[in-house]
């Protein structure tokens, strides 16, 4: 019942659509996903089931890699194909086609889009404002005001450029909006901007070869927690200590554990608790 699955989300499925499909297939009600993908995006969606949903916060800061294509010949309110495309004047398109070069784009990316930058999330997003999604408020013609946030772009490379189509690959921090990168690029180049293709190809160290296809759930495979949490220390506890930990009791004594760090208690590689050891006291942080 306690598992993690990495699903290759298809086009036009929402992240919650994937949850609905998996609930029916696996007959498990309690599950949730990390890092929502837009319906028009594809790629890796990490899903936790049952008590492993309590471990989702440990993934919030993971890097992610995306491959995406921006068209520079028009604009949309949503920064993607979800809204009507307003194409640039034909003369402008011809001007940009002649003037924009792959060298110029690479130079802009390296100067303006590497490391820490301030980014304004798109108004057509799942960010909550007073408990409602910003995108729903926009479609109700209500005012949406979002704040800039600091994100990190570790790498961003041009994969291909043939005006109006620009394909990029980026490794970014959590909470980065790829659609906002398209908008920010427009503010420098003064061309059009909208995403035509967006695919998440990597989550942390979890590459595409670990993913499950939604149309092949007969062969679905769960991820091993020891592979998911390579940077965490796994420990085992004596039965009498584990009983106390399960009752949220603090245990005083000297243990050969790393101090002030979350330790994953497991039984046959099934995580049962998260504990911490500090000032010669072992105590529970999270119980599965």
- Residues recognised as catalytic: 38
For residue 184, the number of C-alpha atoms closer than 13 Å in the C-beta half-sphere is 20
DSSP the chain: ---EEEEEEPTT--HHHHHHHHHHHHT---EEESS---TTEEEEEEEEEGGGGGGGGGGTT--EEEEEEEE-SEEEEEEETTS--EEPPHHHHHHHHHH--HHHHHHHHHHHSSEEEEEPPPSSSS-EETTEEHHHHHHTT-------EEEEEEEEEEEEEETTEEEEEEEE-TT--HHHHHHHHHHHH-S-EEEEEEEEEEETTB-GGG-EETT-GGG--PPPHHHHTTTSEEE---HHHHHHHHTT--EES--SS-TTS-EEEEETTEEEEEEEEETTEEEEEEE-
Q: Return the axis-axis angle of helices 178-189 and 102-112, rounded to nearest 10°.
A: 110
The two structure tokens encoding residue 83: 């809204």
CB burial string 251-268: b at 16+ within 10 A, e below: beeebeeeeeeebbbbee
Residue 69 contacts residue 76 (beta carbons within 8 Å)? no
């Amino acid at each position: 019942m306690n598992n993690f699955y990495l699903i290759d989300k298809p086009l036009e499925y929402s992240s919650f659509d994937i949850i609905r499909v998996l609930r029916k297939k696996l007959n498990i009600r309690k599950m949730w996903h990390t890092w929502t993908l837009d319906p028009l995006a594809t790629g890796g969606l990490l899903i936790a089931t049952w008590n492993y949903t309590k471990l989702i916060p440990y993934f919030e800061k993971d890097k992610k890699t995306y491959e995406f294509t921006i068209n520079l010949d028009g604009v949309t309110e949503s920064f993607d194909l979800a809204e009507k495309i307003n194409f640039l004047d034909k003369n402008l398109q011809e001007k940009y086609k002649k003037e924009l070069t792959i060298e110029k784009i690479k130079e802009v990316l390296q100067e303006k889009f590497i490391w820490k930058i301030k980014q304004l999330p798109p108004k057509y997003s799942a960010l909550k404002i007073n408990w409602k999604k910003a995108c729903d408020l926009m479609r109700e013609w209500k005012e949406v005001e979002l704040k800039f946030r600091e994100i990190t772009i570790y790498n961003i490379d041009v994969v291909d450029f043939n005006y109006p189509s620009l394909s990029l690959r980026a490794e970014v921090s959590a909470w980065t909006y790829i659609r906002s990168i398209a908008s920010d690029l427009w503010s420098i180049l003064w061309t059009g901007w909208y995403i035509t293709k967006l695919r998440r190809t990597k989550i942390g160290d979890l590459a595409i070869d670990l993913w499950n296809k939604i149309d092949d759930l007969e062969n679905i495979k769960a991820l091993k927690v020891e592979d998911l949490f390579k940077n965490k220390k796994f420990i085992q506890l004596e039965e009498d200590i584990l009983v106390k930990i399960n009752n949220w009791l603090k245990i005083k004594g000297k243990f050969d554990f790393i101090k002030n760090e979350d330790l994953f208690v497991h039984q046959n590689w099934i995580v049962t608790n998260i504990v911490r050891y500090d000032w010669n006291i072992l105590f529970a942080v999270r119980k599965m």
